[in-house]
Amino acid sequence: MCGIIGYVGKKNSVPFIIDGLKKLEYRGYDSAGISILQEGKLVTVRAVGKVAELEKAALLANPKGQCGIGHTRWATHGKPCEENSHPHTDCTGEIVVVHNGIIENFLTLREKLSSLGHRFKSETDTEVIAHLIEENLKTACGATPKERLINAVRKTNGEISGAYAYGVLWAQVPGFLLGVKNQSPMVVGLGKDENFLSSDVPAFLKHTNKVLFLEDGEMAELTETGVKLLDKNGAEKPLKPVKINWDQKTAEKGGYEHFMLKEIYDQPQAIEDTLRTAQTDFGKLLNLNTRELRALQQVHIIACGTAYHAGLVGKYYIENFAGIPVTVDLASEYKYRCVPRTAGTLAIAVSQSGETADTIGAIRKAKELGFKTLAICNVLASTLTRVCDATFYTHCGPEISVASTKAFTSQLTSLYALALFLGKAKGNISEASFNSLYKELLTLSKFMADAVKIEYDVRHITKRVYKAPHFLFLGRNVNFPIALEGALKLKEVSYRSAEGFAAGEIKHGPISIIEKGTPTIVLMPADSLFEKMLSACQECRARGAFVIAVTTQEGARLAKDSVDKTIILPYAGELLQPVLNVVALQ
Ligand code: F6R
């Protein structure tokens, strides 16, 4: 994932671009760069590291110009270094490209372009785009350089494959930016006498909240005075901007030390906002009538990473309340496995961004198999929501932290609500049970507001264990996916090794990795599986583990002789407790 931004307007573009890149750092931060059109010449400044490094370099170089593009990178092809940072140029140095995504056929194209005399300066897939545009310009039709550029870019799009969104600037067409989208996000901000191109809205939200979400295959032409949208055949399309109601403050850190912490604290609100709209009858949302809903035979949940863990919890919810068999697949696996074409299948894609290529690819496959498709997604008008038959939106606001927190708990909340609606529609739970269970669900945000207060207890305990090289997380049943999520979060944020296990499995091998002091975090609320979890603690302790119980008041009392430390959470009920337990692990 990378972040791109472009500005064209009456003012110096540099501050807009640098500021926009800072807002996009959550998309990647190993290097960054800008290209500014200054008096007919492109001035490019790039730096390894965070955008702050680029800012310092830009202050020294001091480029000025009313049109420019910028990029913040998370390396996928070629190591993080200045040569591999974007923007990338062609041989003439007059075309610059910033790109987010992966050009799958870049090696073949690179060979072909090299044989035609193009000289490559980086190891990236992106650079082929710049050279391909240069090559295609040689034969592009058009009365003006602008028309020729558009045609060359269209031809280029026909030659590259993969997921990409990119911005192009050509020194021969001053004050003109082109944006292209295919399976990676691209949005346009419509301002007054200025327009913006970006991977995401926070990059320009300070300046405009009028946003155009590009569809796959579309191209946007930006000048200071306007924006033109072209479909994949090159025909002009009417602009249908959306007004975004997130204010800049919502998109920023809100006074917390870092975005992840802010987003952990956003969770009570995110759950409340998500439930506000969940009242909508899921049957209507799916465009199915009760008879069709009753005919549902199975559910496939498809997702990646943290969203996959939400899907694993969702399986327990749907099977429990609706009695419908559920399979949960990693999207990257679903795409390649043989999925039987079973009638009465509902495929659910869970994704915060709605732009994860594997999830989109997998849900497309489900559609091809004739399944009804539902997205549980956080981003309005994202690709996934346009592919699926229906969308249930989690309402978390923008997720800036790379590590997903509030999106996860909102996904769990949505899946719980969906399971209740499916259960009612299938006749698996009565109207009365539905009402009382839904009422319980509505209290979740209050429990969450108490749960986030454990920060200081957790900080205290982490001081004791943070130097450990390896961590274990154990859970059972509906808390097993939470153990997986705890391990993922720890790996992602601390770069330490961590593994999550179903507590009943440790005796089948994993216990051998426990040594003296191995921090072992055990999810053990005082519920029906408490006794089993207690014996898992004793087994681990016998091997020398330092056991930290994530539990409830009652659990802490019962476990006091079997664990080393306790983190005490409020108790929301057996099936809702995972939503609170994960907060301790975040
Ligand atoms: C982990 C994390 C990732 C995402 C995954 C899917 O903290 O953020 O594992 O959950 O990349 O992303 P979305 O939900 O946007 O499809």
Global model pTM greater than 0.75: no
Ligand 1 within 6 A of CB of 306: yes
Question: Which atom of ligand 1 has the smallest separation from the CA of 306?
Answer: 10
- Please state the rounded mean pLDDT for residues 176-201: 94
**Angle at CA 283, nearest 5°, toward 272 and 390?**
75
pLDDT above 80 (res 175): yes
Phi/psi class of residue 183: alpha, beta or left (left: φ > 0; alpha: ψ in -120 to 50)? left
b/e 122-157 (16+ beta carbons within 10 angstroms → b)? bebbbbbbbbbbbbbbeebeeeebbebbbbbbbbbb
Paired with 196 in beta bridges are: 7, 189
Paired with 165 in beta bridges are: 100, 181
User: Of 366, 367, 300, which is closest to residue 328 (Cα–Cα)?
Assistant: 300
Residue nearest ligand 1's atom 3 by CA: 305
Q: To test the ligand 1 pocket, which listed residue (312, 353, 359, 399) has its Cβ within 8 A of the most ligand atoms? A: 353
Please report the pLDDT score of residue 279 as a whole number: 64
Residues in CB range of 495: below 8 A, 6 or more apart: none
Cα gap 432→43, rounded to integer Å = 68
Cα gap 481→523, rounded to integer Å = 11
Tokens read off for 265? 């604290």
Q: To test the ligand 1 pocket, which listed residue (1, 74, 260, 356) has its Cβ within 8 A of the most ligand atoms? A: 356
The Å distance, Cα 496 to ligand 1 centre, comes to: 19
The Å distance, Cα 111 to ligand 1 centre, comes to: 34
- Assess contact for 378 and 407: CB atoms under 8 A: yes
Only one residue has tokens 């499995």, namely: 505
Strand, helix or coil for residue 142: coil
User: Of 349, 351, 381, which is closest to residue 365 (Cα–Cα)?
Assistant: 349
Cα gap 235→154, rounded to integer Å = 12
Question: Which atom of ligand 1 has the smallest separation from the CA of 405?
Answer: 7
pLDDT band at 94 (very low <50, low <70, confident <90, very high): very high
Ligand 1 within 6 A of CB of 410: no
The Å distance, Cα 305 to ligand 1 centre, comes to: 5
Residues 286-336: pLDDT tens digits?
Answer: 556 677 777 899 999 999 999 999 999 999 999 999 999 999 999 999 999
Residues 210-222: pLDDT tens digits?
Answer: 999 999 999 999 9
The torsion angle over the Cα atoms of residues 461, 466, 469 and 470, rounded to 10 degrees, is 30
Residues 69-83: pLDDT tens digits?
Answer: 999 987 767 777 899
Tokens read off for 552? 């409830």
User: Of 204, 208, 206, 170, which is closest to residue 186 (Cα–Cα)?
Assistant: 204
Q: To test the ligand 1 pocket, which listed residue (27, 199, 328, 352) has its Cβ within 8 A of the most ligand atoms? A: 352
Question: Which atom of ligand 1 has the smallest separation from the CA of 303?
Answer: 16
Residue nearest ligand 1's atom 10 by CA: 306
Mapping DSSP onto H, E and C, the string for 476-504 reads CHHHHHHHHHHHHHHHHHHCCEEEEEEHH
Ligand 1 within 6 A of CB of 353: yes
Look at the alpha carbons of 191, 195, 201, 206 in this order and tell me if their dihedral is positive or negative: negative
The Å distance, Cα 175 to ligand 1 centre, comes to: 36
Ligand 1 within 6 A of CB of 352: yes
Residue nearest ligand 1's atom 5 by CA: 305
What is the residue type of 573?
Answer: G
- Assess contact for 522 and 550: CB atoms under 8 A: yes
Residues 229-242: pLDDT tens digits?
Answer: 999 899 999 999 99
pLDDT above 90 (res 475): yes
- Please state the rounded mean pLDDT for residues 381-400: 86
What's the mean pLDDT when you consider all of the chain?
A: 93
Please report the pLDDT score of residue 283 as a whole number: 55
Cα gap 552→581, rounded to integer Å = 10
- Please state the rounded mean pLDDT for residues 134-141: 98
Q: To test the ligand 1 pocket, which listed residue (404, 410, 582, 586) has its Cβ within 8 A of the most ligand atoms? A: 404
Radius of gyration of the chain (CA): 26
The Å distance, Cα 307 to ligand 1 centre, comes to: 6
- Assess contact for 208 and 250: CB atoms under 8 A: no
Cα gap 546→560, rounded to integer Å = 13
